[in-house]
Chains A and B, each alone.
Chain A
Amino acid sequence: MAEYSAWQVLKNAWRGNTGWKPAWRKPDPKPDYDVVIIGGGGHGLSTAYYLAKNHGIANVAVCEKGWLGSGNIGRNTTIVRSNYLLQGNTPFYEHSMKLWENLSHELNFNVMFSQRGIINLCHTPAQMDDTARRGNAMRLMGVDARMLTPEELGRRMPGLDLSPNARFPILGGLEQPRAGTARHDAVAWGYARAADRRGVDLLENCEVIGFLRDGDRIAGVRTTRGEIRAKKVAVCVAGSTGAGMKLAGIDRLPIESHVLQAFVSESLKPLLDTVVTFGAGHLYISQSDKGGLVFGGDIDGYNTYAQRGNLPIVEDVMAEAVTLFPAAAKVRLLRSWGGIMDMSMDGSPIIATGPLPGMYLNCGWCYGGFKATPASGWCFAHTIAKDEPHPLNEAYSLDRFHRGYVIDEKGQGATPWKH
């Protein structure tokens, strides 16, 4: 298929747009592959792409039970950032940020990556100190960060309530200028098209219903479109990790499934040209190119596989949005939805070999998986191809809990509903 370009747009406009071809093939499953990836979301698709591109392994199938990008990659608040504190996290997310910065060119697909910055607001002197410490840690690890005064915040976000009489007065904020947002569906489509062009088979409507075994070893998958044998099977199913791994006889994992709700308002004229987070609760909000405010907060906080949440969180998130931007009180909500998060016991992900021979596991993204999409696939592809983790994902092992090397950014302990 031809490269997408301005010239193609003009040429096809001239021909009444009759020359466009589907962005990827719809192949039938082959009986065997080198690698089968379970899950056609962002991480699964990027894993397939980097397996083909970086490691020359193109005899790969991606099994997706619905349509490509029908899970959390198509239902998130699209924030991309690398403003972490801990050594295990920062280099990984910064690698992801660098991949994001060239992603549209790399995939020949406009993922609309917009480096509009992210600002974490602070409301107490202690929080200012703690946030400055994180900013310093970021700078020491080569990530951009700077503290902003209330005056700078006011210039940047005219709608922000900076009144000293506010319930939680704003004392300052930490900005990562290179952070931003991306068009989430385009990320899935871009990786899908780029992987397909390198020969990867994308198998939609192909639900995995069991695993094939060769003694102890996982030797393939049973799907609704037949049995598929594979030398290596990679599991990349986010909120369905618990249910998926039970098919392989793994009954217990350091994962709980929780629901996260997100919201979009009606379209507004430009109000907010950055991403901002509320520090006295939990709210992250930005404005999409279509004009809608896109925002979310905490997970509901109880185990669930239902893709819908309850009203207390809705009320909580709305109250925080109106606290920050009083003008938002008159804005009507367009839609809300819930997605299932694979909450790990320390709030950090797992990209590892195992737990069974022939199997590879990518999960535990909590509610921060979108920004990790490029690096997650990049590192998972390395882990699958070399049978060992890359130094960037070495800390994301499955046995770190047992060994005591948890990566707990918030210091919450083994309480997944609080991460």
Chain B
Amino acid sequence: MRITCPHCGPRDLVEFSYHGDATLTRPDSASTDQDVWNAYVYDRANPAGEHREFWQHSGGCRKHLVVTRNTLTHAISGVDFAPGKRTGRKRS
């Protein structure tokens, strides 16, 4: 499997580390709603098909990425920088 880093170009899987499901939205830190936190921390859609997930190019530019990958075929259909306050970039 190779991931095309938007900053470094196509690189081997070993250069990247996985950080899981990218579709979850972190609840407001002031929230004390146990159901909301449980859903964020523990519940996963775990789809057989398209999956949006965080990877970090830890062996390269160290940018955090959002990769759209098919969990049945490993085919990657989109890679973009993960959104963050500093860059303000949108997810793919």
Contacts and interface: CB of A to CB of B under 8 A. Distances in A.
A315 B90 CA distance: 36
Nearest to B43: A252
B61 interface: no
Interface residues of B, number: 26
B43 A310 contact: no
B71 A402 contact: no
B52 to A, nearest CB: 10
A254 B43 contact: yes
Contacts of B12: 312
Interface of A: 242-243, 251-257, 301-306, 310-312, 345, 401-402, 414-417
B43 A417 contact: no
A312 B11 CA distance: 13
Chain B contact residues: helix, strand, loop or mixed:
mixed
Interface of B: 1, 12-14, 18, 20-21, 34-35, 38-39, 41-48, 51, 53, 69, 71-74
Given A251-B45, A306-B71, A311-B13, 10 more contacts: A242-B44, A253-B44, A304-B71, A304-B74, A305-B72, A306-B74, A310-B1, A402-B42, A414-B41, A414-B42
Residue of B21, B38, B73 with highest tally of chain A CB at under 10 A: B38
A99 B24 CA distance: 42
B48 A417 contact: no
Contact of A254 (B44, B69, B74): B44
A304 B13 CA distance: 14
User: What 5 A-B pairs are tightest by C-beta distance, nearest first?
Assistant: A242-B46, A252-B43, A401-B42, A254-B42, A312-B14
A257 B57 CA distance: 23
